[in-house]
Amino acid sequence: MVQILPVTFEHHREALGIGEPAPRISWRFAGEDQNWTQASYDIEIVRPSVDPVNPLLFQAVSHESVLVPWPTSPLLPRESASVRVRAKGPDGILTAWSEPKTVETGLYSHENWTAKFIAAPKLFAPNGSLKPVLFRKPFKVTAKVQKGRLYITSQGLYEAHINGTRVGDHVLAPGWTSYNHHLNYQTFDVTQHLVEGENAIGVEVGEGWFCTRLGFNGGRRDIYGDRMALLAQLEILLVDGNTLTINSDSSWHSGTGPVISSEIYDGEVYDATLQKKEWSLPNLVDEQLSSVEESAFPKAQIVASTAPPVRRVQSLPPRNIFKSPTGKVIVDFGQNLVGWLRVRVSGPKAQKIIFTHTEVLENGECATRPLRNCKATDSIILSGELLEWEPKFTFHGFRYVQVDGWPSETGEPESSAIEAIVVHTDMERTGWFECSNVKVNQLHENIRWGMKGNFVSIPTDCPQRDERLGWTGDIQIFAPTASFLYNTSGMLSGWLRDVAAEQINDCDNVVPLVCPNIIGEEFPRAQAAWGDVAVITPNDLYLTYGDRKILQDQYRSMKAWIEKGIPRGSNGLWSSDTYQLGDWLDPYAPPSHPADGKTDPHLVANAYLVQITKVIARTSEILDHQDDACHFASEARKLQEEFQRQYITPSGRLAPDTMTSISLAIAFSLFRTPEETAAAAKRLGVLVRTSNFKIGTGFAGTPLICPALSQSGLAQLAYQMLLCEECPSWLYPITMGATTMWERWDSMLPDGSINPGSMTSFNHYALGSVGAWLHATVAGICPAKPGWREISFMPVPGGTITSAKAVFDSPHGRVENSWRIEDGKFIMDAVVPPNTSALIKLPGQETVNSVGSGSFHFEIPYIAPEWPIPAIKEPFDS
């Protein structure tokens, strides 16, 4: 029997304080009924402010269940409504109603804010950073509380308390946005924190990304401003019908507490002797409190976030506590992660404990060189009493922590006294994968952990060193993998909004290399593959979530990049005068020059240019911009012909002739004829075999080489590359104990030493873009139409892998596919969710079957392909 799961609104995981007055409604289906499609639906909306007694009922004859338009008048600011849905199937039978789900709007505009931004006197820590500030305001509630809402943001990072109790479970709030354009605020239900009588609100604010040091080569401070500020609006509805609003304004006071400094890169210093346990209680008497100043409302929009908040999502106990060869105490958590420590410790007053966080060991010691100008160090000063501590306004990328000064005879903490707290944007997990090869499973887990660690408010390149920036090229190649593993719709669409704002308003239509853009003009501006995120990633999100609005919202940015941002030569291709990053981190590039790979960077740039022009032509058609669609389709043909003249010889060979160049040309359909494509695929196979199946691609080629081989009928070569364990390969880091994806194929050398390049991270997701191929080809599921309305089940077995399984919670419902090879048979079980259809093609068969929803079981004879395919060796090879 088909069931409807609770509805969702827009792309929100939670629907308190959203910014959309007319939120679109989606619902998923559960059940395995055969050929079930929705014929019509009923939406029931309870709006107490409109009619407290009678629900509103809306009916429609439609099969749509994803992002259905809001059927009634827009919600007012602060208004709540309860929504549930039922659907009628093809047999005329109605499903049960879904569970009711509440949506509540926040504040829509500047006019809805009566609070003022407030700032405290600047106080500097010994290291030159700003000391975190404690803001507080006592107030009186004259009757029992019916409802309380706190609307809050800061220029900096905040943590709020009411009457001594922490508000919410967000961390690193309000997150990092392009602060000159958008500043996110959050909404909290604080009803349970408020009492009749005396109350107090307290908010601690630290530098965060707003005014801390950011960037490499020493970085810069005060990029967005030189002081922290708070905006807080506490609205209280009393049972007697009256309302009370507590605004941040000049009546608040400020002070400092035990957090001496807290920086993104360098960590936190906490002095427990300065604890103020009563600072957010009503009756605090503190003569050291200072007045605050009201500051100007920023020009940036104050907006409700489209992304889930950053949260503590997991804790890990130590795997091992040991002493290094030099006698240092090291805690190993067994997993490279992002977050911080939580410790419980007591010891002599003024005893200082220092925690240094690193990703790897070198020669048995914590390896700090890859951190560059980042200390990644937290310090606590004890008070003589038991202390339970974790930092508030910093985070680290680490597996190992060196502990200096722990108050025990050995200097080692007990395992129960220390744990690692895993932190990331709290996206809903949507995708799972496993197969018969344990190392490939570990690879997939490394991809997932790499994503978790680099989705901290924005999609970053690395979480540990003096960088942690939103590099556009990294997410451009990784977005398809990311959007399978987790629901990225809200987070990435919000980030793309910032990309567009900075591109159009700040960068003369050039897509910045990083967003938020803090690196200035010292780096090359317009970059193919990086800037192409403006075109490719909205399209990837549309394919996964089926939301035309993402394309609509980004369309101006797409056009601006293609028409104005890209420097062109007279032939329409990229200007030959531009510096290009190209196939970044090709394994043949020298450690100190990661752009100097085998493939001509301008071939990469121009292949991408043809592709993005094709993509915007399709986007224009989807959005019914027919004139643009015709124009860009024509432009794409001209550019492709020019690409062919420049890079494809009369005999059909590419110049240069590399794994990356051929993979790009096959994946982007750049050849003149099917015969040229077939010849190129054969040549790619030769290159792969000649390399002894070791990878020869960097950022541009890595996501495309396995798909290029597979679509060319050479999937077994792709499997041999996947299963290769020699460096460079995907499994080489597994053999070296990696638990996340590395930045370089050889971030750690076979002898255990760290790559000598100054840019070496052990937590980068870009090379994990192979995950999309694992899902689509190995497990065999991917969307055949946008939003997974039609699903492709086309697994291609290979190598020594004898089984695989993938599960994906699509916008319509759960998609499942599992297969195994057993007794000469290929056995597959597929689940197609209600209200969708599927295309199914089994290995070795040419027929593609179209089916409706339901569960399907297949068994066919199976003859394994030749394995392994021999490498092509040089004559002098043994």
Could you write out the DSSP letters of every residue in 385-414?
Answer: S-EEE--SS--EEEEEEEEES-SSSSSPPP
* Two structure tokens written together for 601: 């960077």
Could you write out the DSSP letters of every residue in 336-386?
Answer: EEEEEEEEEE--STT-EEEEEEES-EETTEE--GGG-S---EEEEE--SS-
**Burial (CB count within 10 angstroms: exposed 0-12, middle 13-18, buried 19+), residue 649:** exposed
Could you write out the DSSP letters of every residue in 192-228?
Answer: GG--SEEEEEEEEEE-HHHHS-BSSTT-BS-SS-SS-
What is the Cα–Cα distance from 797 to 780, expressed in whole angstroms? Answer: 9
Residue indicated by tokens 């068994």: 859
What is the Cα–Cα distance from 529 to 766, expressed in whole angstroms? Answer: 12
Q: Are 838 and 847 in contact (CB under 8 A)?
A: no
Give CA torsion, residues 587, 589, 595, 601, to 10 deg: -80
What is the Cα–Cα distance from 75 to 84, expressed in whole angstroms? Answer: 16
What is the Cα–Cα distance from 334 to 653, expressed in whole angstroms? Answer: 47
Which amino acid makes up residue 846?
Answer: E
Question: In whole angstroms, how far apart are CA 686 and each of 96, 194, 633, 825?
Answer: 58, 71, 34, 31
* Two structure tokens written together for 577: 């005068």
Beta-carbon contacts of 54 under 8 Å, excluding residues fewer than 6 positions away, are none
* Two structure tokens written together for 585: 């981190």
Question: In whole angstroms, how far apart are CA 211 and each of 309, 379, 695?
Answer: 21, 21, 41
What is the Cα–Cα distance from 232 to 144, expressed in whole angstroms? Answer: 22
Beta-carbon contacts of 284 under 8 Å, excluding residues fewer than 6 positions away, are 136, 138, 200, 276, 278
What is the Cα–Cα distance from 373 to 275, expressed in whole angstroms? Answer: 30
What is the Cα–Cα distance from 666 to 680, expressed in whole angstroms? Answer: 8
Taking the CA of residue 574 as centre, how many other CA atoms within 13 Å lie in the half-sphere pointing to its CB? 25
**Burial (CB count within 10 angstroms: exposed 0-12, middle 13-18, buried 19+), residue 363:** exposed
What is the Cα–Cα distance from 330 to 336, expressed in whole angstroms? Answer: 14
Cis-peptide, bond into residue 174, ω within 30° of zero: yes
Q: Are 485 and 427 in contact (CB under 8 A)?
A: no
Taking the chain, what is the end-to-end CA distance rounded to the nearest angstrom? 63
Adjacency order of strands within the sheet including 101-105: 16-18, 101-105, 80-88, 40-46, 56-60
3 state DSSP class of 479? helix
Active-site residue numbers?
467, 743
What is the Cα–Cα distance from 719 to 480, expressed in whole angstroms? Answer: 20
Cis-peptide, bond into residue 811, ω within 30° of zero: no
* Two structure tokens written together for 687: 């290159």
Beta bridge partners of 245: 235
* Two structure tokens written together for 426: 């709290």
Question: In whole angstroms, how far apart are CA 151 and each of 107, 214, 351, 456?
Answer: 8, 28, 39, 22
